[in-house]
Chain A
């Protein structure tokens, strides 16, 4: 098994997406609505309007040569020439035309790949240890677990409409190369009494309010990974903050609830998932290992030695080797991808991984085969000729394509490379040193888990803005205690290459005395780095030198113009607010368009119920189903939904706006909580009165008399005349806090079922 399964649900969703896509192209679907549909399919608009990118799930970064060839074809035909390796070990195609999106999606499906959950508030690509199945220190291969969990998660409807994104990962050992300690849900392999399982970390993550995950279980059996993932997801789904996307990730909820309360809720959801059944995953088979004949006499030629020492590692399987192929900025051109895929194809399916550090890892090759692909590697990876520190640099795309980006980290990385290329130093002494860049405080470039991390900011000098970076240093990742890099000052983007060079030189001088860079930072490195930042913090006056006021690889002077709000959680709120705004305008208009007011009122909150009906008929139907039939709104509001809209639409609009105001962060309306209590008591009507022929307001007065003589939760049924009585009485009854459970036409009148408050 080297592929995840694409369940029917995803195929069905794609059919819906295709229809929406066609509507969007035809101009009958607005761009905001379409956005909320495309983003969960991994389709984002780039910073440049009308250019798009497609993000593709590769569970655990696993990709076989055939799939790589397929991606190469797609890149050539529909996208920018590069396939991009993402920081979740997925793949991205850039500069895609919106017209081509559906074709790309369909072709991906034939490759066994999907963009579903690539973006938006979904279960994102499930990552795992890039060395999974090969590392000497691992307890067992975790990659099959990421595949099987991906298949399961793709098959859950609630995976695609969460309060915020939800990230899961697997690590094969305590070294935590899958970063389980900084994920929403992180599994680290464990064997207890001969049985496989995992320790479980939750609520870690980077970004605003970064947090190291909390270990909530020392051991859960391997067949329970879906059970726990789903239960945690349900806790998140039900309680997460949907109103404020900036405080929505699981770690915010975890801190808000406290560990004890979180665990209580989790326990309930575990029970619920168990009750639902089908929670046990079939234990994935470990891929059959390659049978190779050992060539003990094989000698690595001198000319390969430096490269071999830097990038090749011996696997746990004797005679097999893996190799890291640093890909400059995580990009591989379709031509190179093809060459690589063809070179690897003879060696089997499980020969390649994309990794979250945006590189490639070859695997399961004999020494001879590894040497055989050496030239291919050298051709596609310039960084394979250089010390690892160069190729290990990670950068998000920053302001070049991202609407949130402040700076352009890729340009900074290029500038560093240029500078270091000219420097004579023993950077092999600091093998594995990680430099990470993000263009903004969000952590797409994972700056917090770097040895030396950068995240973009704006600084001003004499009124002019210039790009700059916050500097952080010395992260640790390990099951027994991960910690983020610590703030050490800031430097102008212009000075970043010189700054990096100086830090590296200084570290080279100290490296012998320390086990890890973080140890040096904790000892006295931090102070030293702070001193270095001060040298590179300021820039000359704009009049004297304009260069520092330009960001790297950008011809325009630095500016935040064009920076928008992020797309990743775009959605529901933007839609509701857009409808609300339109509704308010419609309500204030001198001549009221009742039809429009009714449509907007009915549509405004539909997204909160997961409905995406856009045509009038569908909207009114869905509104009735979700808001009137559920008694969230007075049942009599079902009436203005029928036939042509009239002045009652205005009342409906105010009622809907009022309801929206009562909505909490988890998209629950105040009324819903009461209804839950009431539901349990709903019984036979204890009282029945026929008020046909009784005019307003006596029918209401008598109804109140009836209700006054009843107990809370009891049901009163009354018959009301058509016209003013049915228009007014239920509304008034509801206005006093009682619940109108139903209104049904009966003869010439209406039977109204009231639950006393």
Chain B
């Protein structure tokens, strides 16, 4: 049993008071390591909440710099930081909120060559990316590395998310198999996104991460949560693990490959 300092007891008191978290749960959070891929619309709230929660080590991956058009939804960045690397900008806020945590930055775009190396040091992965090739790559890497992770996607007024426990619950490929053809699906930059919707989905992902870490409740395993913020209606779509899944079924995949980038043709 870790000895909590008075400062820690007070900082995390509202967690500790929770019967389902308590001292023991908070200790798990402090000892946990989470990787956030993407410091954008989803990554922003995830990073802020996980830092605040006291997740002991947080890795954050993004190769981009802050753009003025990001600020409408990527709430971890500020106007004065336009042009700064997103990961640096994010790290500043996270450490400002909670100086007790360790933040590691990866200012890079993930691909089949580097993702496994980065992912392996963490207990839980957050997919906060904005394109299908990255999402499928993260799924493949998490299955191979056997890391639980949270998938998330948003568009216009809607969002969807599911939590994956490799080899036990349905994976992203069990549900969607492979990326859609290029241009078949619009992206945020072509179709738009209500900023707050990113906050909604990101906080759900952060909640899922904390649930899995503490071991409480029922994560979104084998179900896709889909919501429409216009109607503000939420629904759960149940899935089963596909025994013939290209990625996690049968033999499954052994090696990673990059999916063709299918997103954005428009210049940012």
Could you tell me which A residues sit within 8 Å of B by CB distance? Answer: 697-698, 700-702, 704-705, 707-709, 732, 735-736
Contact = CB atoms under 8 A, between A and B. Distances in A.
Contact of B23 (A697, A704, A735): A704
Given A708-B24, A709-B1, A736 B9 contact: no
B24 to A, nearest CB: 6
B22 interface: yes
A697 B17 contact: yes
Contacts of B14: 697
B199 to A, nearest CB: 28
A702 B9 CA distance: 7
Contacts of A701: 9-10, 13, 16-17
Contact of A698 (B10, B19, B22, B23): B10
Interface string B1-37: 1001000011001101101001110000000000000
24 contacts: A697-B13, A697-B14, A697-B17, A698-B9, A698-B13, A701-B9, A701-B10, A701-B13, A701-B16, A701-B17, A702-B9, A704-B16, A704-B22, A704-B23, A705-B23, A707-B23, A708-B1, A708-B22, A708-B23, A708-B24, A709-B1, A732-B17, A736-B19, A736-B22
| Closest A-B pairs by Cβ, 9 of them | A708-B23, A701-B13, A701-B16, A736-B19, A709-B1, A701-B9, A705-B23, A697-B17, A704-B23
A736 B23 CA distance: 12
A720 to B, nearest CB: 15
The residue among A701, A735, A736 with the most chain B CB atoms within 10 A of its own CB is: A701
A698 B9 CA distance: 8
Interface string B157-187: 0000000000000000000000000000000
A756 to B, nearest CB: 12
Contacts of B19: 735-736
Nearest to A706: B23
A197 B132 CA distance: 90
B28 to A, nearest CB: 12
A732 B22 CA distance: 12
Nearest to A736: B19
Contacts of A704: 16-17, 22-23
Nearest to B23: A708
Nearest to A737: B19
A736 B16 CA distance: 12
B127 to A, nearest CB: 34
Interface in B23-58: 23-24
A709 B22 CA distance: 12
A597 B14 CA distance: 33
A704 B23 CA distance: 7
B22 to A, nearest CB: 6
B17 to A, nearest CB: 5
Task: From A698, A702, A704, A735, name the one whose CB has the most chain B CB atoms within 10 angstroms.
Answer: A704
B4, B16, B19 — most chain A CB neighbours (10 Å): B16
Contacts of B4: 705
Contacts of B16: 701, 704-705
B15 to A, nearest CB: 9
B245 to A, nearest CB: 41
Contacts of B13: 697-698, 701
Interface in B114-153: none
A736 B24 CA distance: 13
Give the one of B1, B4, B14, B23 with max A CB within 10 A: B23
Contacts of A697: 13-14, 17
A697 to B, nearest CB: 5
A708 B14 CA distance: 16
A700 B10 CA distance: 11
B23 to A, nearest CB: 4
A408 B17 CA distance: 66
A709 B1 CA distance: 7
B75 to A, nearest CB: 29
A710 to B, nearest CB: 10
Given A700-B17, A704-B22, A708-B23, 4 more contacts: A697-B17, A698-B13, A707-B23, A736-B22
A709 to B, nearest CB: 5
A402 to B, nearest CB: 53
Contacts of B9: 698, 701-702, 705
A402 B23 CA distance: 63
Contacts of B10: 698, 701
Contacts of A707: 23
A698 B4 CA distance: 13
A166 B16 CA distance: 53
Contacts of A708: 1, 22-24
A291 to B, nearest CB: 82
Nearest to B22: A704
Contacts of B23: 704-705, 707-708
